Structure 1
Amino acid sequence: MTYRTRLPHRTRGPGALVTGGSRGLGLFMARQLAERGCVVTIAARDADELERAAVRLREETGATVHTAVCDVRDRAAVGALVREVHERDGLDLVIANAGVIQVAPVDAVDAAEFADAMDTMFFGALHTSLEALPYLKRTRGRLGLIGSVGGLLGVPHLLPYSCAKAAVGALAEGLHAEAAASGVSVTAVHPGLMRTGSHRQAEFGGDVDAEFGWFSTAAGAPLLSMDAERAARRIVDAVIQRRARLVLTAPAKAAQLVHGVAPGLTTRLSGVAARLLPTAQGRGPLRQGAEAGEPRNPVARLVRSWGSARNDRVVDRANQHEPGPRTSS
């Protein structure tokens, strides 16, 4: 492979860290890095989930894969993790991916859900960046921050997620500008919908079954979503190539363009879309997708079954079977 798709070799391989690496997109990115000769550490909150992911990665790639139980909301814990990886493997590449997905109308959530999203996604990315940068400066390393098209425009029924991802995007752009002089590259990644099996782990509020129905349909629909393993390959390529920004999926690129040219029109169109989504049925605890039922309407069930079929098939490979502590997008 060329330098465009592979990190420079050392005797033992470059050291890479992926937060939220136990399942979904994080797991697929870790696999890409392992296949390219990296010594990979995957970090998440659930020890059992991490071990299942690591066993699979070792069997499939033959690479050295370490695990670390870490809550990225805790800066001291992140600092200890980053220092351990640096001292053991060297720290050449870091991808901050840990996240949560909350799907509900704003009437069904409270400030706590916004705080939870910000703590995990924005402050998780911030803690990872601040703790990793001193080591990455020594290796002229690479940092990737996983945002979302949901951070480029406000998405109805995903407002906590959109707000946190918008902050991640701003952080990535600012760090890219400031870190460049030290030889560190920072890549802002904004994926659209991907087939990661995340509908199993996402949390739903309001009319839970209906919210699960539209989200799982959209997240798996062939024309709207992207194969997550292909997305992971492109993301890792972009980070290795030191690209400043990557937007994935044609719908995400179109949404970014329209919003940039006509933000008022985009907001009005979002309002139209919001009217088609389920209405709130009061506040209450959010429930994970694995606990949701099928839509009550038979036509809606048929549409969900069609739209979600590809996403359902990736659940096993993405290590999304067991509901547990939320660790990855």
Structure 2
Amino acid sequence: MSLRPTLRAASRALAIRSRPALPRHEALGWSLAKRRYADDAVQKNTSKPVDAAAARRIKEDLDEEAVMDQLEAALANLPKEQPRRKARKGTDEMQQDALAEEAAADDSGITVEQAARELEEAAKANAGPGMKDGLTPSQMEHLVAQRNMAMILNYLRTAPAPILSTKNPLMAGHPPASHFPFNPVMYLTIVIDSVAPLVKVRYIPGAAGGGRPLEMPGPLAVRQRRRMAFQWILDAVAKKRSTGSGRTQLAHRIANEIIAIAEGRSGVWEKRIAVHKLATATRANLGAQLVKNMVGRKF
């Protein structure tokens, strides 16, 4: 019977022999600088101690040198910085400084306040007629209109979304009412375009016979429609009772009227319906002989 190989039988024939380790070559500098565990060599401080008097003198010399360096740097930068600071001053401040220097050099007894007062009077005399704060009346009106429009848009942005009406709907294709506060410019444009009339009835004096005016409807351009719609909004705002005061009063009243138009509860809708009804009733006047002869004319 043959013997089966086992781990114990294989380990009996295994022979383990030690081999010498390979020699390691070390750098001479590393071997010298390295400190052994049994070595007590410590780097010795070769500097000599300085007495307190010498240390105090060294510190005073360093402080004096630092102060002198700072003074030299300040004196070197002073002529460069002074004109730059002077150039940043406004015209009025420079003129006031010049007047103050003249008043200081003059022996007539004029103070700085009197010189500044004379300067203000001279500036008022050179200003144009009707100017206020350096602006003409038309510029002031434009500035006030911009401020009011900014407050109207801010009020529409912070107000809740309008509840749309089915009786007086807005123009077709508008986004949902919940999107209106996110874009107040779109909100205002949609409301004005929805309530703006499409036609206008013009009156031709004496054309109907017997001294009566002839009513003739005609289309309006986009700019004309929007202007008429906003004029109706201003008329409706002027008729309502005031509920506050201050600069924000007009802007808030206009914004409330715009929200009322979006919700279909404003009287501006009735004006639009009345104009369209009158234009429909007088559309037969477009075929009158007098009107045909006046085609292309301005009246």
Answer 1 or 2: which has greater helix percent: 2
Shared fold (TM-score greater than 0.5)?
no
Task: Considering Cα pairs closer than 8 Å and 6+ residues apart, tell me whether 1 or 2 has the greater RCO.
Answer: 1
Category of TM-score, reference length = shorter chain? under 0.3
Answer 1 or 2: which has greater strand percent: 1
Computing the radius of gyration over CA atoms, which structure comes out larger, 1 or 2? 2
TM-score (norm 2): 0.19
